[in-house]
Structures are given as C-alpha cells and as structure tokens.
Amino acid sequence: MLVIVAPGQGAQTPGFLTPWLEIPEFRDRISAWSEIVGLDLAAYGTTAGADEIRDTAVAQPLLVAAALASYEVLGVRPDVTAGHSVGEFAAAAIAGVLHPGDALALVRERGRAMADAAEVTATGMVAVLGGVEEDVLAAIDKHGLTPANVNGAGQIVAGGTLERLEAFSADRPDGVRLRTLQVAGAFHTAHMAPAVDRLREAVAAVAPGEPAVTLLSNADGATVAGGGEFLDRLVHQVANPVRWDCCMATMSELGVTTMIELLPGGTLTGLAKRALRGVRTVALKTPDDLDAAREVLK
C-alpha cells in the first residue's frame, strides 16, 4: 500500500527547483501556477536566497506548487495521501478534493494571512528533539507555549512568543536538543487566529470534490470521507496543532508499506524511518529520485 506525502514549511532550500525545471512538464506547471499566485515561482526556487523563501507568503505557494508538479511528473497514483501543515493542500489536490489551481489560490491567501498574523507579535517555533514526551509536553505547557507540531519519532515543535521560547530554552527538559526553525511566526497556535477568518472566506468560494483516495487529516490522523469536511479542517488547522504522529499511526493501521515524499522531500521520510519501521521510503529531492520512486513500487 502506497502513501504519497507532501512536506510543510521549512522544507524549502535555496535553489531546490533548479534541476527540476529542466523537465518541460514540470517547468510548464510552475509557470502556469506562478500566474495564479502572483509570484515568479521559478525564480524563488532557483536564484532566491534563504531569507526570501522563508517569507511565509512565498514559502507556502512555492512548496505546494513544487509538491504538485513533482507528483504530476512522477505519474503514480497513491492508495493514501497526507500532507504536513501547508502540504495538506497538495494532498487535497492529489485526492481530488481541490483542483490544483484552486489549491494554489487558497494557499496564496493562507500564506498572506499567516504572514500578516505573524507580524502582530514576535513569535517563533523551536523543534524539541528527544526526551520523554510527557516531560516535553509538560515543559511546553509550563512556559505558556503550544505543541504546534507533534511529529512523532521523538520530535515536538513548540510555538509561541520569542520571550517564552527563550525561557523554555533556559529551562528545557532533560535529554533534549533544541533547533530553532526558520519560520516567520508561531504557526498552528492561537497567534494565527486572525488568519482563520480570511482563509474561511476564501474557502467559501470553492466547490470541493470528494476524496478519490484515502485522505488523512493533520488534526487527528483521521480518514476524511467528505471534501467539505476536509476544507473545514484545513481552515481550522491554521491555528491548531499538527498531529503528524497520529497520521503515521493511521498509516500503520491501514497497512502502508511504501512512502514517497514529494519535492522537497526528506523531512517526512526521515520521521517515517524512525516511526514506521519496515516501510520503504523514497524522498524526491532531485529528478534522479523519480526512477527510485517508481522502482520501489515494483
């Protein structure tokens, strides 16, 4: 059983689109979707620096466009699909809930709305690696932070004000390592509440389809049977934690045997190698990985 997954914000790196634009189909898709989002995605994915693509309003459409374009050139239909954070929009398109153009238009509004929300208060996110999960969650709560991403495999991301993150860092639980994430704000926390209404208005203009493959939700890892329900969950998710651990638990329950992570791959397959032992994984990083992805399905 194959699951295809789409990564979230933070997976982008300078120049990651460069080799992919040599594929005509990929290049054409990026060009067309650039018109929809009002950004030169090819330039942002090739010549832009790390700070430029860190901008939430840029990173989100860039990531979803890259994931969907790599999915189209891969040419493989999954049994199950899921996305991490903004990657859920790519998963929605793969499942047929959203037309790719609608997915990109909604992500454009989501990215802008979240960027505006991030400017209200100085906030950030820190990955907490290792430690005892209960101790980590208790420490996050103690310092008034939110476990914005519970990713499984010993990784929880704390989000909140920079002041509270600094206090947490000085009073971290035993046995953990901290890594500051290169994001513009505390996504999937109450700090993103102003973005929820804007996305809800944008979603109201879209007529969703019904999922044609099994589609998992970040909220709780549940299989979502209705397109309308999934769009409601996408809106709600902006200001609420991502439970990728639950998504992986559902993958295990469904009997997933193979995971392909769309461009820019690596993060989610890395988690799967630790949490989904025995599942074959392929991350699409360069076009050379396309053959490896097709080969693993034989």
Any idea which residues carry the catalytic annotation? 85, 188
Are 14 and 49 in contact by the 8 Å Cβ rule? The answer is: yes
**DSSP one-letter code for 210:** -
Note whether 133 and 156 are within 8 A (CB). yes
Are 125 and 158 a contacting pair, CB within 8 Å?
yes
DSSP string, 43-81: HHTTT--HHHHHSHHHHHHHHHHHHHHHHHHHT---SEE
Residue 3 to residues 29, 36, 148, 297, 298, Cα–Cα distance (Å) = 23, 28, 24, 11, 15
CB distance 240 to 188 below 8 Å: yes
- Residues 218-253 as b or e (16 or more Cβ within 10 Å = b): bbebbebeebebbbbbbbebbbbbbbbbbbbbbbee
The C-alpha angle with vertex 277 and arms to 276 and 281, in degrees rounded to 5, equals 75
Kindly give the pairing relationship between strand 80-83 and strand 214-215.
parallel
CB-based burial label for 53 (10 Å; 0-12, 13-18, 19+): buried
